């Protein structure tokens, strides 16, 4: 264990017309530092996760954290980006700085404002997280990328429409209990399974209910070394943290295997000296329902081609043997790109503290997180447990 989460803040995700990137950063940064029992002057370094890519006109954003307090002035602040894993990239950078004994207290913030762009531009901006030399022409933006992945999986392993609808309905049912979720509505299996005017096909076999929501939002957390964390009220330790990157072009990989995801899980579980059976729950990256299905297989929950078993047999439900996305996941919570990874760490910490309210997984002792950028290109796994 090299670092612990000792405080956090999370604003509701959704469409925030009266906010901008700066105001959301300021709000969660101040709240997280206070929640950890520190003052801004106690913070040694800041990492801001902000994808941007054109979502916001303000592109140089690291020092916007300082707008929450003049006492941040002259501290190192760095913006990091790794596509949809940007938030976890910020958290892992903070961990690395503490492990190197270059800092004792690190503030990590994740933010994104996506909804102020017109729909067509949102798709074009998201597609920048693919390999444009080969994938720029894919219709439907990033949904089109995952539509192609879903189609390839169907061709190899058969139609998975039932399983994808179960994943969508499971996550929306969980999201009802998440006060930070953008959509708190139980859509039901039948609605998610059937094409309709309100649930049309978007890309390939993927319907609207298979796609995460365009969202605005921010989350923040404070990291410290273990010695400092022992004196804090909240102390959630990193049992392990792993990052694995894969080739950017889909053409260089067997795209339905999510090998980078599998490698990241293997490294993290090995470092933690744990197996999947030791985890109480997982927050995983369901940017599209097909992604969650593939992640079941990549993490080793099922054999390749058998991911549907995990949801059809109830394993990944809240009362199953490995609950997956008790927060509702990106599907219900929303997916403000830079904030997502930080949000996952906050949600997991709440579970391990027993502070998750109606989201709470019974007897949660060890939580796993998988956050990815692109189509399993940047892969981050964190394994968390209470320090005491």
User: Which residues are the active-site residues?
Assistant: 84, 335
Closest to 302 (Cα-Cα) out of 279, 322, 332:
322
CA distances (Å), origin 217, targets 19, 112, 152, 323? 9, 6, 33, 25
Beta strands of 189-316 (E only): which ranges?
A: 201-203, 206-207, 216-224, 236-245, 281-283
DSSP 82: B
Strand, coil or helix: 342:
helix
Closest to 222 (Cα-Cα) out of 336, 333, 108:
108
Q: What angle do CA 19, 11, 36 make, to 5 degrees?
A: 125
Return d(Cα 241, Cα 95) in angstroms, integer.
9
Furthest-apart CA pair in the chain: how many Å? Answer: 58
Alpha helices in 276-363 (DSSP H): 289-298, 307-312, 329-333, 337-353
């Amino acid at each position: 264990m090299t670092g612990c989460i000792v405080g956090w803040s999370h604003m509701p995700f959704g469409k925030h017309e009266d906010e901008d990137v700066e105001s959301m950063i300021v709000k969660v940064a101040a709240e997280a530092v206070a929640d950890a029992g520190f003052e801004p002057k106690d913070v040694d370094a800041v990492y801001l996760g902000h994808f941007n890519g054109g979502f916001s006109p303000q592109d140089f954003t690291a020092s916007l954290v300082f707008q929450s307090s003049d006492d941040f002035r002259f501290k190192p602040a760095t913006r990091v980006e790794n596509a949809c894993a940007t938030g976890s990239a910020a958290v892992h950078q903070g961990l690395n700085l503490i492990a190197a004994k270059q800092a004792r207290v690190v503030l990590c913030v994740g933010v994104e404002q996506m909804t102020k762009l017109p729909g067509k531009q949102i798709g074009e901006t998201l597609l920048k997280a693919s390999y444009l030399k080969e994938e720029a022409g894919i219709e439907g933006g990033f949904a089109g990328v995952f539509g192609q992945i879903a189609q390839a999986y169907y061709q190899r392993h058969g139609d998975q429409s039932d399983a994808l609808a179960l994943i969508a309905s499971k996550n929306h049912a969980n999201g009802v209990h998440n006060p930070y979720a953008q959509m708190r509505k139980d859509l039901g299996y039948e609605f998610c399974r059937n094409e309709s005017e309100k649930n049309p096909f978007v890309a390939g076999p993927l319907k609207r209910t298979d796609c995460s929501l365009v969202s605005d939002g921010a989350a923040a957390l404070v990291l410290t070394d273990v010695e400092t964390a022992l004196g804090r009220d909240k102390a959630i330790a990193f049992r392990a943290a792993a990052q694995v990157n894969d080739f950017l072009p889909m053409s260089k990989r067997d795209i339905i295997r999510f090998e980078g995801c599998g490698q990241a899980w293997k490294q993290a579980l090995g470092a933690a000296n744990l197996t999947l059976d030791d985890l109480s729950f997982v927050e995983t990256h369901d940017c599209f329902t097909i992604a969650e299905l593939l992640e079941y297989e990549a993490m080793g929950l099922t054999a390749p081609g058998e991911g549907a078993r995990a949801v059809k047999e109830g394993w990944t439900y809240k009362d199953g043997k490995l609950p997956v996305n008790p927060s509702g996941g990106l599907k219900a919570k929303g997916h403000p790109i830079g904030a997502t990874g930080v949000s996952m760490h906050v949600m997991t910490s709440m579970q391990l503290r027993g502070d998750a309210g109606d989201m709470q997984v019974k007897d949660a002792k060890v939580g796993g997180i998988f956050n990815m950028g692109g189509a399993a290109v940047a892969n981050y796994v964190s394994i968390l447990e209470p320090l005491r």
